[in-house]
Chains A and B, each alone.
Chain A
Amino acid sequence: MGAEIQLMKGNEAIAEAAIRAGADAYFGYPITPQSEIIEYLAHEDPYNKRTGMVVLQAESEIAAINMVYGAAACGKKAMTSSSSPGISLKQEGISYMVGAELPGLIVNVARGGPGLGTIQPGQADYFQTVKGGGHGDYNMIVLAPSTVQEQYDHVGLGFDLAFKYRNPVMILSDGAIGQMMEKVQLSPQKPREQKIYDWATTGKTPDRERNYITSLFLEAEIQERKNIQLQEKFKRMKESEVRYEEIMTKDADYILVAYGISARISESVIDIARKNGIKLGLLRPITLWPFPSQRIFELAERIKGILCVEMSAGQMIEDVQLAVQGKIEVKHYGRMGGSIASPSEVYNNFISLFLK
């Protein structure tokens, strides 16, 4: 049997990947540009027709993330999705999930902001996603797909990482990747695991102590101990979960650093630069947290400058600047509010920022 390949929208790929990854539940609330996720799931009706996966439209983004909390605390593979303003609403629940050490997958198909903003794609959610938009000291792994295939693959990967560390994982996509159609190689259907975890609330049996899931530790000493334990977990994630892709960095004099749709545009920028005899490369972070700081630091030893391409006023650039520790010049180019830069526009700006 040949590979199962299908032409799919980025949002549909997330939905199909969730079913095939053996997810137990999806809870969501409609918001453009990601409503196809819940629409696809509603149409597929996996609860009755495929795997028994629960699909429920909640009354709000807040309710949806708390439904994920409830299911996750039973050891279920649960997920939700939204777009920027809706993710702002979910931040409370995400902070609680980290505090209670619950696995779960959150997808953000980002649009332009602030406020209600625009329904066009945006990358201005880097801060709220990577720096922890909720309260308290916390981190979570953030995956940034740049193709529909990768968006599909990140669903299964996201669930695996969430359960590996008992911590929520976010896929930070954007309206462009969510809406574009590309070829996707589908993975075989995984069964729903129905696994009983020793930490999960599944009903207390006489052979074990009760399980309680909480993020409340009233005494300062106990809360601090909990925080130290969480920080150790984040350290382990930092040590082993950094993912990135490099394109033509070997001989590069300059590199672009970009993720998501901006990385796709940046690939074309490199083509233009190379045709003009400029040795330009690309480093594409696949995990925005943990960030490939070490690799960027190494590259900064031998390149002349970095241009960060982001559809924001410059958010990821702060992490790039931290990584290079002032060794070379780091500059930003980006459009905001749903506007997407063309490759030639980025190229021209690169030339005027670095080579004029």
Chain B
Amino acid sequence: MTDLELYKKELLAQGAEKIFTKTKNLTDTPFSYCGGCGHGVAHRLIMEAIEELDITHQTIGVAPVGCSVIAYDFMNIDVQQAAHGRAPAVATGIKRTMPDKYVFTYQGDGDLAAIGTGETIHACNRGENIAIFFINNGIYGMTGGQMAPTTLPGMVSSTSPYGRNMDTHGYPLSLTELVAKLPGTYYVTRQSVHTPANVRKCKKAIITAFENQKLNKGVSFVEIVSNCNSGWKMTPVEANKWMEENMFRSYPLGDIKLPQ
């Protein structure tokens, strides 16, 4: 018996009802994301949702370019890695030729809202029967904290060192509100994973996004507003506080489009 198993046994003997178990859909590779980053939680929720819906054998994921380019190191399911921004096109190729499968993309804000704007809008507008999970932390994390399309006004990044200036850098772009207006999207919601309550809500949204694929009604689009404490140059606690006070003002949480 391993130490972990012994510990579990001890807890059960003490009267614990349920012990957290890692989903089989995550590999044993430890997350290499920065401490405090939301990617790990988001990965876990998606993998748990797939296991709970019992659709592992029918699910194909698409990983982007960005911090989560290595998502398939952690996701113990069939995954394709796409070129920067192209995940919705790749997912289209999968879903059109494998219509019985559950297909999702996992994309950051640079991937989805900058270089992949065209692919995102058109996949949504065609009503591809896929789920798009969009992690928005307002910065390019992987490349070292450059300005993203979602970077807030005045926010400092390595390519906006004096703060985002709308006169020269343009305005923050919210693709989530934009795609909600398209007839091809069926379900559009904005969630976060920074508190246990938000984690539970977010998981529900993820499950809904997968279940919707059975209906063949179009894209389910789940934005997860997250932090990037490394890129924001903050501690994880400061980053979450800053996110609540600033990110949520520009990117308010809640459902944006619900099935009619």
Where the two chains meet, the residues of A that have a C-beta atom closer than 8 Å to any C-beta of B are 24-25, 27, 54, 56, 58-60, 62-64, 66-74, 76, 78, 92-93, 96, 100, 201-206, 210-216, 218
A69 to B94, CA, bound (A): 9
Which residues of the other chain, B, contact A215 by a CB distance below 8 angstroms?
Answer: 81
Q: A63-B122, A204-B59 are in contact. List 6 more A-B contacts (CB 8 A).
A: A63-B92, A66-B86, A69-B90, A70-B62, A74-B60, A213-B80
B242 within 8 A of partner (CB) = no
Are A70 and B81 CB-contacts (below 8 A) given A63-B86, A63-B118, A63-B122? Answer: no
* Contact residues in A for B70 (Cβ distance below 8 Å): 216, 218
Top 7 closest pairs, chain A to chain B, by CB: A70-B93, A67-B93, A66-B89, A70-B90, A201-B78, A214-B81, A59-B122
Q: Can you report 16 A-B residue pairs in the complex whose CB atoms are below 8 A from each other?
A: A59-B122, A63-B122, A66-B90, A69-B93, A70-B62, A70-B97, A74-B93, A74-B97, A78-B93, A100-B81, A201-B78, A201-B79, A203-B101, A204-B56, A204-B77, A212-B79
Q: Does B41 contact A (CB under 8 A)?
A: no
Whether A216 and B93, one on each chain, are in contact in the complex, defined by CB atoms closer than 8 angstroms, is no
Task: Check if B9 is an interface residue, CB within 8 A of chain A.
Answer: no
Which residues from chain B contact A96 at a C-beta distance below 8 Å?
Answer: 83
A202–B97 touching, CB < 8 Å: no
Set of chain B residues within 8 Å of A92, measured between Cβ atoms: 83
Q: Is the CB of A70 within 8 A of B94?
A: yes
Decide if B81 touches A67 in the complex (CB within 8 Å): no
B32 to chain A, nearest CB (A): 10
**Is B22 part of the contact surface with A, judged by Cβ < 8 Å?**
no
In B88-103, the 8 Å CB interface with A consists of 89-94, 96-98, 101
- Indicate if the CB atoms of B93 and A71 lie closer than 8 Å: yes
Q: Which residues of B contact A78 (CB under 8 A)?
A: 93, 97
* Minimal beta-carbon separation of B58 from chain A (angstroms): 5
Q: Decide if B244 is an interface residue (CB 8 Å cutoff).
A: no
- Known A59-B119, A66-B86, A74-B94; contact A201-B80, beta-carbon cutoff 8 A: yes
Assess whether A67 is in contact with B78, with CB atoms less than 8 Å apart: no
Interface mask (B57-82 → A, CB under 8 Å = 1, otherwise 0): 11110110000011010011111111
Contact present for B118 and A60 (CB under 8 Å): yes
Distance, CA A154 to CA B58, complexed state (A)? 34
Q: Which residues of B contact A73 (CB under 8 A)?
A: 80, 90, 93-94
Indicate if the CB atoms of B78 and A210 lie closer than 8 Å.
yes
Q: Could you tell me the distance between the alpha carbons of A201 and B81 in the complex, rounded to whole angstroms?
A: 11
- A-contact bits for B26-66, CB 8 A (1 contact / 0 none): 00000000000000000000000000000011111011000
Alpha-carbon distance A70/B77, docked complex (angstroms)? 16
Bound: A59/B86 CA distance, A: 12
- CA–CA, A62 to B119, complex, Å? 9
Kindly list chain A residues whose C-beta atoms are within 8 Å of the C-beta of B92.
Answer: 56, 58, 63, 67, 70
Contact of A63 among B60, B94, B119 (CB under 8 A): B119
Chain A min CB distance to B128 (Å): 10
- Whole-angstrom CA separation of A25 from B70 in the bound complex: 28
Which of chain B's residues have a CB closer than 8 A to the CB of A205?
Answer: 57
Q: Chain A residues with Cβ under 8 A from B72's Cβ?
A: 210, 212, 214
Using known A-B contacts A210-B77, A212-B79, determine if residue A62 contacts B93 with beta carbons closer than 8 Å: no
**B76:A204 contact, CB within 8 angstroms:** yes
Report yes or no: B93 in contact with A66, Cβ–Cβ below 8 A.
yes
A67 to chain B, nearest CB (A): 4
Contact A69:B82 (CB < 8 A) given known A74-B60, A216-B69: yes
Q: A140 CA to B210 CA in the complex, in Å?
A: 38
In the bound complex, do residue A213 and residue B81 qualify as a contact, i.e. CB atoms below 8 Å apart?
A: yes
Q: A202-B60, A203-B57, A204-B56 are in contact. Are A212 and B80 (CB under 8 A)?
A: yes
Q: How far is the CB of A93 from chain B (nearest CB, A)?
A: 6
How many whole Å from A47's CB to the nearest CB in chain B?
Answer: 9
Please measure, in the bound complex, the distance between the C-alpha atom of A71 and the C-alpha atom of B86, giving whole angstroms. 13
Q: How far is the CB of A133 from chain B (nearest CB, A)?
A: 15
